[in-house]
Amino acid sequence: MPDNYGKLAYVLLTISTTHRPATDLGFLLHKHPDKVQEFSQSFGTAQVFYPEAGDERCTAALLLDVDPVRLVRSRGASSPDFSLGQYVNDRPYAASSLLASAMAEVFRTARAGRCAARPELPEQAIPLEISLPALPCRGGGVELAHRLFEPLGWQVEAAAVPLDDGFPEWGNSRYVGLTLRGEVRLADALNHLYVLLPVLDDAKHYWVASDEVDKLIRAGEGWLAAHPDRGLITRRYLNRRTALTRAALARLAEVGDDLEDALEPPIEEETAEATTEALAEAMPDGEAAEGLAKEPGGEPTGEPDRPTPLNVLRREAVLAALDEVGARTVIDLGCGSGQLVNALLANKTFTKIAGVDVSAHALTLAARKLKLDRMSDARRARLDLFQGSLTYGDSRFAGYDAAVLMEVVEHLDPPRLPALERVVFGGAKPAHVIVTTPNAEYNVRYETLTGMRHPDHRFEWTRAEFRHWATAVAARYGYQVDYRPVGDDDPELGPPTQMAIFTAGGGDV
């Protein structure tokens, strides 16, 4: 029997600051530096104490004593994985959802950004250093830690923990020693940890119910919607419960393809390690490398080939169509968080680019992603971002070689489509209009999908319905139309996304 059976084990988190006076950390955490405070948990005991507390530097430590037996008993024999394996696991030693739960309770007021004694203090970004000696990073290791924390402004120092110091040839474990440094509001820092600790561990010690969506949205306010890996974070935080993931992504996304991408099979980004290990065990020597991604020199990288996400394929298809028609000035109608706009800016052949959205919040996210405040003058001169409705005439929509409606039309109520047609095809009158929309026939390929791909979709067309609409629009406004598949073109169901390229100069005006 392992020696952790029936004993306490420890998980440690330290938070340090050099803010002057550094003991303001006590006000922010609502924990006095001169006291050791103890908090009972269902799986053990949490303690808060200060290893150092001076004007120049102050450190608060959260020490979690986890009792593996109490942890198992708190779950009950009806738990689906009730077995001896629950006594022998890494949770009593590594930062995980246990630490996140304890932190949420112990630092509840600090996470909310409240301080009655010093109300101005929680709003200040202060220099912070956060240390976690043992953090499981499943399916990514050190790289995953960088990938999740760096977009939030942290300087990340991460080092893989070896399996055994005495046997370096065994390689590294999935555990990482992590240190984060940055100038951040303490409330934001705690919420980053609350969400991302169980995401990195890719497990929770409790049943994930529907109220976890609200917890995620609250903790992720101000940062999760703009995170480049919000799909991965949401899926893992919600234990890959598809209905909850869809609900959370719908609340995070204004308009876009986040939900659609989340429905793709859970593959390489989260299962690469398991897949590689399974191949190695199941195949004779030398055969396990087949089907794995290869370096330019031909050597396997150790990870399975990654199919390109649908949103990337869609964006590439639109860019290829714009190049094909020779467009140099482009307006993205319904630009959302600016993914297409960013790709257009990266190509200098596009000399004038506009992004339009009805949502001010979406435009704020776009400006942040595009780093508008740090953009060079030359690039900024090519770009215009503005708010506007696609169902009301607007002179700013005119004057572009091409207009793009990428995954936009399905978000309008059908009775409002004629208004959009008049505004875009009759009012703005670009030489080319590119429209993409989901193919409803393909939805059966998403095994977990019920209904439409996004809760905000008002309809989803079959291929015949899309062609009927596009052909009628082309005839009314004097365009010719060509159809293209986007994504895997299933011989029975067609592609996941369908695209129409309208070119002025055909039909009856």
Yes or no: say if 310 and 261 are a contact pair by the CB < 8 Å rule. yes
User: How large is the greatest C-alpha to C-alpha distance in the chain, in angstroms?
Assistant: 83
194 and 228 in a single domain? The answer is: no
For 112-138, letters b (16+ CB in 10 Å) and e give ebebeeeeebbeeebebbbbbbbbbbb
What is the Cβ-side half-sphere exposure of residue 456, based on CA atoms within 13 angstroms? 18
The angle, 0 to 180 degrees and rounded to 10, between the axes of the packed helices 186-201 and 230-237 is 70
The reply to whether 259 falls in a domain is no
Q: How far is 449 from 443, CA to CA, in rounded Å?
A: 7
Highest mean pLDDT among 3-7, 9-13, 99-103, 396-400: 396-400
Same domain assignment for residues 127 and 13: yes
Residues 44 and 87 in one domain: yes
In a domain, 133, yes or no: yes
CA distance 348 to 409: 28
DSSP class of residue 309 equals: P
Q: Residue 99 domain-assigned?
A: yes
Tell me the three state secondary structure of residue 38: strand
As for how many domains the chain has, the answer is 4
Three-class HEC string of 378-425: HHHCCEEEEECCCCCCCHHHCCCCEEEEECCHHHCCHHHHHHHHHHHH
Structural domain contains residue 64: yes
Helix (H, G, I), strand (E, B), or coil: what is residue 66?
strand
Do residue 323 and residue 426 come from a single domain? yes
Q: Are residues 41 and 181 in the same domain?
A: yes
Q: Indicate if 242 and 272 belong to the same structural domain.
A: no
pLDDT value of position 263: 52
Q: 351, 321, 356, 341: which is closest to 431 by C-alpha? A: 321
Question: Domain limits at 354?
Answer: 310-504
Domain harbouring 193, CATH code: 3.30.1610.20
Judge contact between 391 and 413, C-beta under 8 A: no
Place of tokens 């996210």: 365
**Do residues 300 and 361 both lie within one domain?**
no
The pLDDT of 233-245, averaged and rounded, is: 89
Give a yes or no: residue 3 inside a domain. Answer: no
- Residue 54 Cα distances to 21, 270, 389, 410, angstroms: 8, 43, 55, 59
Region 147-166 average pLDDT: 86
Nearest to 223 by CA among 158, 270, 157, 153: 153
C-alpha to C-alpha distance for 191 and 183, rounded to whole angstroms: 15
Helix (H) or strand (E) holding 433: strand 432-438
pLDDT score, position 506: 55
**Residue 96: which pLDDT band, with cuts at 50, 70 and 90?**
confident
Query: Of how many residues is the chain composed?
Result: 509
Q: Which residue's structure tokens are 């919600």?
A: 238
pLDDT tens for 111-156 read: 988 888 888 888 889 999 999 988 888 878 889 999 999 999 999 9
With respect to residue 258, please indicate whether it lies within any of the assigned structural domains.
no
E strands, 109-205, are: 126-136, 155-162, 172-184
- pLDDT of 16 reads 96
Q: For residue range 44-91, what is the model confidence (pLDDT) as tens digits?
A: 788 999 999 999 999 999 988 876 555 555 554 444 444 444 444 444
Contact 198, 204 (CB under 8 A): yes
In this structure, of 148-162, 214-228, 230-244, 270-284, the range with the lowest mean pLDDT score is: 270-284
Task: Give the pLDDT score at 271.
Answer: 35
**Residue 276 pLDDT more than 60?**
no
* Strand order through the sheet with 126-136: 37-41, 44-53, 58-66, 9-17, 126-136, 172-184, 155-162
On whether both 23 and 131 belong to a single domain, the answer is yes
Contacts of 464 (CB under 8 A, 6+ apart): none
397: CB partners within 8 A, 6+ apart: 331, 333, 356, 388, 403, 423, 424, 427, 428
Per 3-state DSSP, what percentage of the chain is helix, strand, and coil (rounded to 5)? 40, 25, 40
Q: Are residues 19 and 136 in the same domain?
A: yes
Nearest alpha-carbon partner for 26 in 34, 62, 11:
34
- 8 Å CB contact between 343 and 317: no
Residue 58 phi, psi (nearest 5): -140, 140
CB 405 within 8 A of CB 336: no
Q: Is residue 260 part of a domain?
A: no
* pLDDT (0 to 100) of residue 464: 97
Same domain (yes/no): 216, 201: no
> Which of 382-386, 410-414, 474-478 has the least mean pLDDT?
410-414
Mapped onto helix, strand or coil, the DSSP state of residue 70 is: helix
What average pLDDT is seen over the chain?
81
Residue 449 shares a structural domain with residue 367: yes
- Report yes or no on 262 lying in a domain: no
For residue 490, the cross-strand partners are 494
* Same-domain status, 281 and 246: no
